[in-house]
Amino acid sequence: MPTRFRSALLWLAPVLLASPIVAAALQTAPVATVTLPVLKFTTPNAARGAQISANCAGCHGVGGVSKDEAVPALAGQVASFTRQQLVAFKAKLLPDPTMQNIAGRLSDQDMADIAAHFATLAPGPAWPNTDAAVRAQGATLYAKGDPARKLIACAVCHGADGRGNDALVMPGIVNLAPAYAEGKLAEYREVVPYAHPSPQAMHAAAQGLTDEELTALATYVSSLK
């Protein structure tokens, strides 16, 4: 899997961890939990965050709307998740040297301000998709999962609209490029990026997905407006 796919959104899912399906899966492969550093900051300043993050447009796109299928968009992402990602990069738990270097230079307040800025931006448009059947398959899996196969619905954590939940550190997943989304799902199916409950939960959730279903889910997620 290319390193740039690993520099992505780490989909945190504390609610998913409470699912009996996921709990059972995690019991089969216990991994030591990593405690991420707790950020200390005052009220976030989105305007300051916009100034600090000006150079992010070089990779993540103007206004946080990525045009690169291998790079995640940041526009509209819930602030709590962006902060969590930056902490993970700074702690070198995610193997992207560029992001490790960038995050390593940021203070706790910088991270909070940057996250607040991107949370104020509108997500970009849906990625083009002409395969209605594949999208429909992904929509069903996203909304309902497959109880017979113990596949949990993505909407349980990410919301019916894919916008996430800031209070629960549930990331938004709208405006993800299909190639990026499929790459992340495939990665989670195979490995746990680092020993922390949330990526373990995503690993458990993706275990039963076929290659065809990965494509269908990625197609659907990329089409969310």
Q: What is the largest CA-CA distance in the chain?
A: 49
Instruction: Measure the CA angle with vertex 23, ends 152 and 3; round to 5°.
Output: 70
117 annotated to bind ligand: no
170 annotated as ligand-binding: no
Known binder of ligand: residue 203? no
Q: Is 196 labelled as part of a ligand binding site?
A: no
Q: Are 203 and 189 in contact (CB under 8 A)?
A: yes
Q: Report whether 60 belongs to an annotated binding site.
A: yes
Measured distance CA(109)–CA(41) in Å, rounded: 5
How far, in Å, CA of 143 to CA of 221, rounded?
Answer: 11
Does 99 appear as a known binding residue? yes
Q: How far is CA 139 from the centre of its chain?
A: 18
Residue 37: C-alpha distances to residues 61, 86, 151 (Å): 28, 11, 32
> Is 111 annotated as belonging to a binding site?
no
Q: What's the rounded Cα separation, in Å, for the pair 187 and 72?
A: 15
Binding site, annotated residues for heme c: 56, 59-60, 99, 154, 157-158, 202
Binding site, annotated residues: 56, 59-60, 99, 154, 157-158, 202
